Amino acid sequence: MKNLVVIFSLLAVLVSIQASAKSIFGPESVIEIEAGRNVFYQYAPGDTDKPTLVFLPGVNRALPEEYPAFKLLAAQGYGLLITATSSHWQSLVTLEKQTPYFEKNSELTVSDFNEETEIVIKTLKIKKPVMVALSYSSAMAAFTKLNKIYVAPMVKASDSNPQGAKAAAQWEATLALNPFFGAIWIRQFRDSNYRKHWSPMVEDNQAAYGEGADLDQILNGYVSISRAAEDFDLTEASFAGTGEKLFILGEYESQIRLRGQFETINKAVKSGPTRVLIVRRAEHNVPQSQPKAFETAMLELLTTKSAAKLKVGVIDSKKSKEIRWLAVSEVKALFAEVLSLSDSTDSADLSSVLGK
């Protein structure tokens, strides 16, 4: 009898664990936009009176449904939608033997990828979408007229390897001297570099793609995604007529990217009210690095509005439910500090202006 009690207790624990691990999202799904152009998504409807947060995809993956930040926001009643681009492997593996769209149209842009997301939103009849652009997808969000929040946005694709980008630019300048083949050689040079970058990751993640997946096709998909944003510069994006500009940044962002983000904010302020929330001790992936502080930041930006030209708040990861709004003198000191940062990819540290 005691053994039976133990067995039933263990079964109860397992059932409890499975229930707690159950995804808040519906099944993995795809929308076929046209032949060879499927878009992967997962959707979790929320309360009808609250927006649906559309988490735009990063360059190398859609967001994992296990993110703690997703559960925190879903518990507040917000709908959630996560997507991948048509060139991403989660979309490509659904094509079976079809030719991927990017092989027929090698000139796909981030604007095209944004259009794909908006088609998913329209197909699902989402009435109150708010785009949440993380990293790479800032390039997509720059082209939407929907409400949006920039989270640790990519400013330039070259910021991930500034020294390599400078060396490549010098080599491309030499190739460009040839008036007949220069443009072709530059295109081949860039695509070759993209393949070298993504090839090890594709090799290492074969199990995720499933048996029989076309690895060359998946690798070429990454080339397509990289190519789409290669000349993007968020500091040159137009913020006119897009309502209040909203940003969530991580303190431990790379120095070169954080500086670019603040340069972008300077541009945004010129076209209207702008709010910035900085999460202390958060790395580039803010939702994963500091999920509770990220939830606080999102709720603040979603539930309140500000008419201030620029309003900057700080969320200490140790007091994740509190926001400390900076005085004008503190904001000036913060901007001076960040805009003086170098081209280094080392993590920034703002303790000199924000305190320990």
Residue-by-residue DSSP string for 262-328: HHHHHHHHTTS-EEEEEETT--SSHHHHSHHHHHHHHHHHHH-----SEEEEEE-GGGTT--EEPPH
**What is the per-residue pLDDT for 61?**
58
- pLDDT tens-digit map of 31-76: 999 999 999 999 999 999 999 999 998 776 556 778 889 999 999 9
Rounded Cα distance, 222 and 267, in Å: 30
CA angle 191, 197, 203 (to 5 degrees): 115
Domains of the chain: 29-158+232-354 (3.40.50.1820), 162-213 (no CATH)
- pLDDT tens-digit map of 306-345: 999 999 999 998 899 999 999 999 999 999 999 999 999 9
Asked if pLDDT for residue 295 goes beyond 90, the answer is: yes
Mean pLDDT for the stretch of residues 75-83? 95
Q: Token match 């979603």: residue? A: 302
Asked if pLDDT for residue 14 goes beyond 80, the answer is: no
Non-local (6+) Cβ contacts of 45 within 8 A are 52, 79
Rounded Cα distance, 5 and 124, in Å: 47
Rounded Cα distance, 118 and 81, in Å: 11
Q: What is the mean pLDDT of the chain?
A: 91
**Model's pTM, two decimal places?**
0.91
- CA nearest to 267, candidates 240, 243, 241: 240
Asked if pLDDT for residue 108 goes beyond 90, the answer is: yes
User: What is the arrangement of strands in the sheet containing 29-34, beginning at the earlier edge strand?
Assistant: 29-34, 37-44, 79-83, 52-55, 129-134, 148-151, 245-250, 274-279, 310-315, 324-325
- pLDDT tens-digit map of 213-260: 999 999 999 999 999 999 999 999 989 877 899 999 999 999 999 999
> In this structure, what is the dihedral angle of CA atoms 54, 55, 56, 57, given to the nearest 10 degrees?
-140
Non-local (6+) Cβ contacts of 272 within 8 A are 239, 242, 243, 244, 245
